[in-house]
Chains A and B, each alone.
Chain A
Amino acid sequence: MLLISCPWCGPRDETEYHYGGQAHVPYPETPADLTDEQWAEYVFYRDNPKGHFAERWMHSLGCRRWFNVLRDTVSYDVLAVYRLDEPRPELPTLRDLHQTAEAAGGNR
């Protein structure tokens, strides 16, 4: 069971969330101009790294807001949590791995 800190609600069990796959996949700026290959890339192809992965989660049993998580896909450690309007953070140091609700932006 993962422990994920929602940026608004703080640390909660994985079962409160829904997974949304890779983060930072923008909708094509000029969709009418895309080739079939480019549409295939956008619709069906996602990164699948072994290691650090920026991904979307939604706090479906809480505030129901989407946010981003930087997670290690081997150790499953949650490395950072950030809002959709925030850039992917630089790699945190080890002491930041287990954020409190306040540090993660919870309990506002």
Chain B
Amino acid sequence: MTTTPLPEHPDWLWRNPEPRSSYDVVIIGGGGHGLATAYYLAKHHGITNVAVLEKGWLAGGNMARNTTIIRSNYLWDESAAIYEHALKLWEQLPEELDYDFLFSQRGVLNLAHTLQDVREGVRRVNANRLNGVDAEWLEPDEVAKVCPILNVSADTRYPVLGGTYQPRAGIAKHDHVAWALARRADEMGVDLIQGCEVTGFLKDGDRVVGVETSRGRILAGRVGLAAAGHSSVLAQRAGFRLPVQSHPLQALVSELHEPVHPTVVMSNHVHVYVSQAHKGELVMGAGVDAYNGYGQRGSFHVIEHQMAAAVELFPVFARAHVLRTWGGIVDVTPDASPVIGTTPIENLYVNCGWGTGGFKATPAAGLTFAHTIATGAPHPLNAPFALERFTTGALVDEHGAAAVAH
């Protein structure tokens, strides 16, 4: 019997440099958004004297914990614009980064189980089309054609009354996305510094001039905060407040199965979203745990609830076994839309509040945040998502399209 030799270990995708004493820009948070921000700072603005500081390991927070769903079918013009721009970037990034991160446009179904769901879904499809987002309303028999293993019979507790469908939506391999961005950013001169926790901010009056870290003092011309669940903690260290609450958000995978699930199914009403990863695991998530938490774990009854919903929708899953469950910390805003913009501290910028939906926005978050940091003013796509909206009242309420209970 001949054995196939293991493939060569790939070259390291990025250096592991020691932090220098100063940078033009320091990004706090080495997740997807921080890496994408560094990438676009270098690519679009020619700013390469940049450090990304990550307290743990690269992309080990929510970038490693999300359910990898990518879609742009949000209700309001402001959201549709930024998420659709992200989707268009996703469509070109594998080639641009020369890295096949398995972006699979297999479509996303958002199911409706009540008359109210149906009305909201149809309204959202119409709004999406006006914004150039591919969206369709499917009746139950059409839902069954897209996803044959879904139980669309009338004799369930919450029958499927239809659903919205976005064919260009899909999933991607989250770790590979981070590695692809990290490799390119590194090649352009960005220092990716792991194991480097920001413990304080150096300020000259109301202007930030650097950060204190677990690996020493680092001076910075500008500082970008992209720390997801820990944004409040860092904002407090910098001396301002953010309108976000940090919650645990849990997900789980089954053991590997043959390909049975051709698309992504989300149900707001019975609280589950499911896809099947390329390797074969069923990947599921649900709503956030109600309480504030930084523990990267949640309560088991939330898992039980989402499993019940999944088995109701997919009877074929009844004998599948859970392989593992985990949690991440998501920072949720009052209107379920992100905050990307300036802060009360000069030269300190913030990208936070993505709540349960940050992964899908990774390229657009990076592009707009890089623009905001480089020019000191927001890109047209993120101008509506300024911190000031909570004072002016111009909220962008996406609780419906966020599709995850907050």
Contacts and interface: CB of A to CB of B under 8 A. Distances in A.
A48 B299 contact: no
A36 B391 contact: yes
Interface in B260-308: 290-295, 299-301
A21 B390 contact: no
Given A1-B299, A15-B301, A53-B292, A48 B232 contact: yes
Interface residues of B, number: 24
Interface string A1-35: 11000000000011100110100000000000000
B390 A48 contact: no
Interface in A41-73: 41, 43-46, 48-50, 53, 55, 71, 73
A91 interface: no
Interface residues of A, number: 27
B241 interface: yes
B391 A37 contact: yes
A74 interface: yes
B246 A48 contact: yes
A73 B392 contact: no
A50 B291 contact: no
Interface string B237-251: 000011111100000
Interface string B19-59: 00000000000000000000000000000000000000000
**Among B233, B290, B292, B331, which residue has the most Cβ atoms of chain A within 10 A?**
B292
A76 to B, nearest CB: 6
Contact of A74 (B236, B245, B295): B295
A50 B301 contact: no
B334 interface: yes
Contacts of A76: 291, 293, 295
Nearest to B235: A48
A40 interface: yes
Contact of A73 (B243, B295, B300, B334): B295
Interface of A: 1-2, 13-15, 18-19, 21, 36-37, 39-41, 43-46, 48-50, 53, 55, 71, 73-76
